[in-house]
Each structure stands twice: as C-alpha cells, then as structure tokens.
Amino acid sequence: MGPRTTGRWLLCAAFMVALCQGQQDWMQCSSTCRCKWVSGKKTAECIKQNLTQVPGDLSPEIQNLDLTGNRISHLTHDVFYRVNLVNLHKLVLRECGIESIHTNAFNGLKIVIEIDLSGNNIRNLHPGTFYETQRLRVLLLNQNRLRILENGLFFNLTFLQKVTLSENRLERIEEKTFRNLPDFASLALDGNNFSTLQLQSFENLPKLGSLELRNNPWNCNCHLKRFRDWTIERKLYTKPTTCQQPPSMAGKMWDEVTSDEFACRPKIITIGPATKIEMGRGDVTLSCRATGIPRPQLSWAHRTRILDNVSKRPNSDRGYILSASHDWLNLTIFDATPSDKGDYICHAKSPGGDAEKNVTLAIVGDALGSRDNFISLPLAIGLGVTALCLLIVTIVLCVCYCRRRRTRHDEKGLEAASLEHHGLGEQEKSLITTINPVVKPPRRYEAPSVTSHGTEMTELNRTLLDNDSVFGQYTAYITKQCAARC
C-alpha cells in the first residue's frame, strides 16, 4: 500500500463522515416524525400524530412531507415558509380536517410539484392560493366540500398537469378558472353536484385528454348541449356519464341521445299586434316570434284549425299567407271580414317542449258579423215571409176591390159615380188601415254603446225598424196604384 493509496482512503473516509454528518442533520426529526430516504427523496413522515400544526423542527432539506391523519384545521399564511420548509417537492395533507386555507398558505413553496389535500373539509379556495407554486404539476382535492371554483384559481401554472376534484359539492366552475395552462391534461369532476357546465370554462386547454364527469346530476338541456358536443368531439366523454334531468332523459348516457335532444322549452317572445280593425279596412298581419335551442317549429291556429297557405277562410275566397324567417312566423289575412275575428294562437314546438300564446283580432262595426249571421238570418227570412204575405194580401184585396167597384159602376149610373168618389176615399182609407194595422212605434235612435255587443244590437234594431217602415210605405204605394188603375 503506497502513501498515495492511503491518502485516497483517508479522503474517502473523510467524505463518508461528512456525508453521514449531513444525513444526520436532516434525519434528526422531531419525535413525532420519521425521516428517511424514500425513492431518493428526503422524506419526513408524520402520520397520525395528533399534530395541530405543521412541525417546526424539520430540516429545510426535507423534500417530501407527509402529514396524513393529523388535526390541522387551518393552514395560515406562510405556514410552511415560517418553519423553513421551502424545498418541498411533495406535500401530503390528507385527512387533516383542514377547513380553510389562507391565500398565502403555500407561499415560499416555489419548487413544490405535488400537493395532496384530499379528505379534508375545504369549502373554498381563494384565487391566488397557488400563485407562488409555479412548479405545481399535481393537485389532489378529492373529498372536500368545495362548491365553486373561482376565476383565476388555476392561472398561469405552466406545469400543471392534473387536478382531481372528485366527490366535492361543486356546482359551478367560473369561466376563467382554468387559464393559461399549456400542459393541463387531466381533470376529475366526478361525484359532484354539477347540473351543467359551460364550454367556455374549458377553452384553451390544448392538452386536456382526460375528463371525468360521472355521478353528477346532469341536466341534459340546451344549456349543456355545447359542452356535451365538445366532450364527444374531443373524445373526452367517458361512460357511464348519464343525465338526471329532464325526466325524459333521465338515466340516458350522453352519447346515446342526439345533440338536438339537449333542448330547452321554446319561448314565445313576441306576439301581436292585438288588432282592432274596421270592417273592410283591408289586410291584417299577425306576427309571432319564438326562440329556443333547437329552433322551434312555429304554427298559427284559428278556432282549433292549423293554418297554412292553402287553408280556406270562412266567407272569403282568399286564403292566408304565412311567411317565415329566422325566429318569426307571420300570418297575413287579406281583406279581413268579421268571420276572421277571434283568437289566433301561435304555437312553438321543439324537442324541448311546447309553448303557445294567442292574440285577438277584433273587427269593429260587424253587425252582420259571423256570429250575428246565425241570429240575423232567421230574422231576415221572417221579414221576407212577412213581406210576401203582405204583398199577397194587398194583391188579393186590390183585385176584390176592383171587381166590386166595377160591379157598382155597372149598377149605378154616372150620377152615382160622381158621389162615389168621396165614398171611395173613405173605403180606401179603411183599406189601408186593414192592410197596415200596426201603429208604427216611434223610431228609436240609441247612442252607440261602448261594447261591440251593444253596437250590434242597436244596428239590429235599426235594421228591423227600417224594414218595417219600408214595408208600410210599400203597401200604401201598392194600394194607391191599385186604386188609380181601377
């Protein structure tokens, strides 16, 4: 053994001693923790030690810290920085009963790669909580009580790859929760309280390849449609992710139903105008506008009849024109007549359901209107028959009178004829009275009433009276003519 070899050995021994001394430094754990090498990392295990705070006597060289099963309800600001644990790569805080995390709790953990916060009672995470953990790759938050993920929570974490949020109470993810995360690949949201999600929350995650969505009360309506389409398109959908709402979709998997079935009940947003037109005042257009996803089918109906371009109209040889564009369906009625009045119903239908609203078309001054036709027609027939009877009676009387007069004329001479003229006048008068014995009531003019019904009645009365007087005059005229001819 030469002096050179001895020298080498001495050097080596010195190095070993130095190494051992270094080892001892970080391995001198507090009594509650066990410090050792695990997978080449300086690890401190402080599992189920009834710790109420992060131990203060660990070496700054510790890389992995496992605090599973302790009682640390609050992570206060700079909680690791203050005890100098700034070289942590992996931090495990499972089942520690953590309720709150201060925005700055993880400050100083500039090289931490993985944080496990599963099985706690965390209700809220402030945006900024991970502001200093720029090297974070994996964040486990399963089994907490989170309800909302706020804008900016995962912002600019260049290395973030995986976040698990299974079995929380999440209902909502704000639009800018995940932003500028170029490596983000895996997100677990199963076992939460999501009924819907916006696609905007997941845009700009180019590497996202795994998205767990099972066991949520998904409401498969139009609000979920875009997100659903996107998950299927990006092949992120995994069975069995099922719908819970609406009832018609309950239990169905997202890829079992078509995109169009992710629908909402349509809404009629405009209908009108409620129109009151005067008779013979031309064309009426009723418009109806409805929205919905998918776009609903619109139709117009009048008196339970669905109208189209070839529908016949009562009392008119012209039909309807229906014109559709975008959300509108407009119905044009040319030369509206009283038979066109009434409620027009606009109906919107889509896979999401139905909606309908109606609008009333009123025609002013429609005495012989559709409904009144049924009243005035028998009346008109009655009047006609009466007139005919009167005419027959008139003719019969006229003929009889003429014959009698001729007979008398034959019996008496010219002398008698001159006297007779006066008597004839008497007889003529009595004849007129016989024919038209009714004392004509004074003609009643009523002020037009406000309601359309009142107006109709007034009109009706007037017509009746007019007819009566016309017939009276006509009878008298006939009698006079009769007398003159005889």
Ligand X SMILES: *[C@@H]1O[C@H](CO)[C@@H](O)[C@H](O)[C@H]1NC(C)=O
* Complex with ligand X: residue 183 or 468, whichever CB lies closer: 183
* Complex with ligand X: residue 193 or 200, whichever CB lies closer: 193
* Complex with ligand X: residue 93 or 483, whichever CB lies closer: 93
Q: Shortest approach of ligand X to residue 314 CB, angstroms?
A: 16
Please write down the HEC assignment for all residues of the chain. CCHHHHHHHHHHHHHHHHHHHHHHHHHCCCCCCEEEEECCEEEEECCCCCCCCCCCCCCCCCCEEECCCCCCCEECCCCCCCCCCCCCCEEECCCCCCCEECCCCCCCCCCCCEEECCCCCCCCCCCCCCCCCCCCCEEECCCCCCCEECCCCEECCCCCCEEECCCCCCCEECCCCEECCCCCCEEECCCCCCCCCCHHHHCCCCCCCEEECCCCCEECCHHHHHHHHHHHHCCCCCCCCEEEECHHHCCCECCCCCHHHCCCCCEEEEEECCEEEECCCCCEEEEEEEECCCCCEEEEEECCEECCCCCCECCECCCEEEEEECCEEEEEECCCCHHHCEEEEEEEEECCEEEEEEEEEEEECCCCCHHHHHHHHHHHHHHHHHHHHHHHHHHHHHHHHHHHHHHHHHHCCHHHHHHHHHHHHHHHHHHHHHHCCCCCCCCCCCCCCCCHHHHHHHHHHHHHHHHHHHHHHHHHHHHHHHHHHC
Q: Shortest approach of ligand X to residue 280 CB, angstroms?
A: 23
Q: Shortest approach of ligand X to residue 25 CB, angstroms?
A: 25
* Complex with ligand X: residue 158 or 315, whichever CB lies closer: 158
* Complex with ligand X: residue 191 or 292, whichever CB lies closer: 191
Q: Shortest approach of ligand X to residue 466 CB, angstroms?
A: 36
Q: Shortest approach of ligand X to residue 194 CB, angstroms?
A: 9
Give the interface with ligand X as residue ranges (CB under 6 A). Answer: 49-50, 134, 156, 158, 169, 171, 193, 195, 287, 308-309, 321-325, 328, 330, 343, 345, 358
* Complex with ligand X: residue 218 or 262, whichever CB lies closer: 218
Q: Shortest approach of ligand X to residue 88 CB, angstroms?
A: 18
Q: Shortest approach of ligand X to residue 97 CB, angstroms?
A: 13
* Complex with ligand X: residue 349 or 462, whichever CB lies closer: 349
